[in-house]
Structure 1
Amino acid sequence: MAERTEAEKLGEVLKPRERTFVREYLVDLCGTKAAVRAGYSEKSAASQASRLLRKPEVRAYRDALLQEQFDAIGVTKHSIAAEVWKLYERCTQQRPVRIWDSQKHEYVFAGLWEFDVKGALKALDMLRQMLPEMGKDEGGGAGPSLEDMVMGGGGREF
């Protein structure tokens, strides 16, 4: 007999409808819709979803199912951080500001450059929030350094 997964073990402490709610919640991350699909009444679905999502055992089951999904497609904390860094780099690339020249009937360079400040700051904030978790590797080790992770081991200096 195959060994049970962490999610299966955590799911045993939940009622069948609670397990169904969690699986439905992971479809679209909408608690109210998930509660209705799990069999709760439409009138009480929002409050039931809120109540269920506050229960530690429901959250643990949800997290275990998510982890299984991430493992199946190869998503790790480090791969997410690397993608956030790529987003940051895209947001900080300068783009020329162009204005319409009515005499030439075309857009011309205005002598200014712009970049996505809000996107860059959001990406940096996401990385900052991820940093405490980055040292916690699933294998018990420290994992790659932040520099290796962010730069892809490429050896580029700031």
Structure 2
Amino acid sequence: MNWMRCLIIGISILTGVFAISCDKGEVDYVVNLDYYYINNSTASIEIKTFEIDQNGFNLLKNYKINSNDTLYINVNTEGPRNLEVTEIKQPALFSDSTVVIYDELKCNKFVLADMGVNNITNYKSTEIKNNYFELEYEFTNEQFTDAEDCN
């Protein structure tokens, strides 16, 4: 009789585990984001992204875009079933701090999420299909002219 009790308890536990593991809850779907960083300026551009920790600034990535060239970055992530472009929170180059250097002479520094290349609303967006977007950020001569001298 003890083995029957153990069998019943075992079956009950397995049933509970399967019920929990089969819970659909919130399901994430694949989101495909194609980022195009278009350099329509006459300057060569270098983009450096940094993270900030207790030791200061740490370089994460370094990109170079020649004049009249494009940098392409594909990001595959998870999100809701029908993601709206307004729900995309961060661009591909987002970091704690981003520096855009023009011809190694002039710089734009973006340390806040709502500034320049760090702000997703500064991107032109096109929905290709459900959960698949193209996002473009354009660098212009005006940005180059308005940039500060690098120190």
TM-score of the aligned structures, taking structure 1 as reference length? 0.18
Instruction: Work out which structure has the larger RCO, using CA pairs closer than 8 Å and 6 or more positions apart in sequence.
Output: 2
TM-score, with normalisation over the residues of structure 2?
0.18
Which structure: greater strand fraction? 2
Higher normalized helix content (fraction of residues): 1
